[in-house]
Each structure stands twice: as C-alpha cells, then as structure tokens.
Structure 1
Amino acid sequence: MDVVPGAQVGLGLMIHHPVGIVVGRGVKVGDGCTILQGVTLGERHADGSGLPIYPQIRDRCTIGANAVILGDVSVGPNSTVGASALVIKDVPENCVAVGVPARSIPLKHVAAATERKAHND
C-alpha cells in the first residue's frame, strides 16, 4: 500500500487486503470509507501535462477491487465504485459507478432491479 504524504484520510477508513493500493498526495477520503485491493486514487495527468488535481472521496463510500479514480472528480456520499471501474467523471451521491469508463446508476435503480430479479427467480 502506498499512501503519499499529503493525502487526507477521514476517520474509520477500512482497508481490505491492502496490496496494490495507491493514494496520491492530493487525494481526500472522507469518514467511514472502505477501499479494497488494487485501488488507484490519483491525478489524471501523471506525466506533468496537466494540473495535479486529485479525486475526493466523500463519506461512507466503498471503492471496489482494482478500481481507478483519476483527476478532478468527486465520489458522492454513500456511493460505491464497482470492481475494475475507471472513474473520470463525478459520481453523484447514493450511486453505483460501474464500467470503463464508469457510468453512474442511482442506488434506487439498483435496488429495484435486484428486487425484480429475485421475484423472477
């Protein structure tokens, strides 16, 4: 795990399997977040071609295994970034971000789809 000096981490951070996690110097992680293995939180232009702007992870977020969150983006409170997602746009509050590049799905839609699937099984 590599947390660069200057990163700000809130209270109650839970790190599961800390292998391969990289947190850049300007990253801000809120309270009560969970980060799984292989996650990268960093600047979008590591070659120096752009401003060194880092992501902000708000309170009570979960970042799935091998997710990458880059640049001037915010992951809203109570949101989840799925495994292997690439986040380069903001994730609103109470959403799940999935895919490459990630798209955000409101949690209420995820819950409704899960309920329909359970009813059909």
Structure 2
Amino acid sequence: MNILIHPLSDVKTTKIGDNTRIWQYAVVFENARLGENCNICAHTLIESDVVIGNNVTVKSGVYIWNGTRIEDNVFLGPNATLTNDPMPRSKKYPEKFSGIILKNGCSIGANSTILPGLIIGENAMVGAGSVVTKDVPANAVVVGNPAKIIRYLR
C-alpha cells in the first residue's frame, strides 16, 4: 500500500485506502474509514464514526464529526463546518448523532456551514460562506444565509 501519513499527524485508524495522503496536524480517530486517493490536508479532524469515499479532498481546518458519510469525488473547502447535533449542550449528548451525507461529486465551499442531518446531492455546489439549513438537490448551486438555489448545473 502506498499511503502517506505525515509524522506530525495523529492517525489511529488502519482503514485507509491506497494512495491517500494525510498531512501534518491532522487527527484521525480509530475506526474512521478513508477511501483511496484522498487528500486530507493539515489541521483537520476526523472522528471514529466517519466514512469517506475515494478521491475526496478535505482542505485545512475541516472537522468531520461522528455520523458523517462522504461519498466519492467530494471536495470540502477550507474551514467548511459540518455539524452533527441539532441541539448542542455542554456535557449533554444525543443518543445518536445526526450525521451529514455528502453525495458523489459535490463541492462544499470555504467557510460554509452545513447543519446536522442534511443531504447534499450529487454534483451539488455550496458557495463559500453559505449556511445550509435544508437538503440540497443533485446538481443545485446554493449560496447565501440561508443557502438558496441560484441555478442548476448540467
């Protein structure tokens, strides 16, 4: 296997696909699953109950919380925020976290926020800085706060 794990990262999982690169200061918990040919940039965190497909790019400053499912060919821009608890309180945890599903080929713009339990459709694009409060259909481009569809991709 041809996996690059930077010596300044903290990677506990062994479930990493071939040709995946994990850069410095990344933290990957035990049992997280990462596909082939992924690029996990510096200053990222991936919790245990996370599944990441093949050819996924996770740019710096992205934290991926329990329950999140990321399909193939997804791009997560710098500091994109994924959430998993609709009613967060200190020291009070839900029975189950509400993960986000990022479908094949979607792109999440820098500094955007995705609320828990949502699905971002295949090949959809979330514009930088957007706040996504509801599911995004396949091929839709959404921008703003709250994010609204501005057009569809062909």
TM-score, with normalisation over the residues of structure 2?
A: 0.64
Other-structure match for 1:74? 119
Higher RCO (Cα < 8 Å, 6 or more apart)? 1
2:66 matched to 1:21? no
Other-structure match for 2:132? 87
Q: 1:49 to 1:25 in 2, by over 3 A?
A: closer
Number of residue equivalences: 107
Q: Deviations over 1:11-43 (max 9, x none)?
A: 100234x1x211111011110011111011112
Other-structure match for 1:115? none
Query: What's the CA shift for 1:49?
Result: 7.7
Q: Deviations over 1:67-119 (max 9, x none)?
A: 111111100000001101111100000001111111123325xx8xxxxxxxx
Q: What amino acid does structure 2 have at the position aligned with 1:100?
A: N
2:30 matched to 1:6? no
Equivalent pair of 2:124/2:137 in contact (CA under 8 Å): yes
1:45 alignment partner, one of 78, 83, 87: 87
2:151 and 2:56 map into 1 onto residues whose CA distance is 24
Residue 97 of structure 1 aligns to a residue whose secondary structure is strand
Equivalent pair of 2:107/2:124 in contact (CA under 8 Å): yes
1:76 and 1:55 map into 2 onto residues whose CA distance is 11
Equivalent pair of 2:115/2:133 in contact (CA under 8 Å): yes
CA RMSD of aligned residues (A): 1.8
Residue identity (%):
28
Equivalent pair of 2:66/2:97 in contact (CA under 8 Å): no
1:6 and 1:93 map into 2 onto residues whose CA distance is 25
What is the 5 A alignment of 1:90-101?
A: 90-101=135-146
TM-score, with normalisation over the residues of structure 1?
A: 0.80
Note the residue ranges of structure 2 that are not aligned, 5 or more in a row: 1-43
Q: 1:99 to 1:49 in 2, by over 3 A?
A: farther
Question: Which of the two has greater helix per residue?
Answer: 1
Other-structure match for 2:40? none
Other-structure match for 1:33? 74
Note the residue ranges of structure 1 that are not aligned, 5 or more in a row: 112-121
Other-structure match for 1:118? none
Other-structure match for 2:4? none
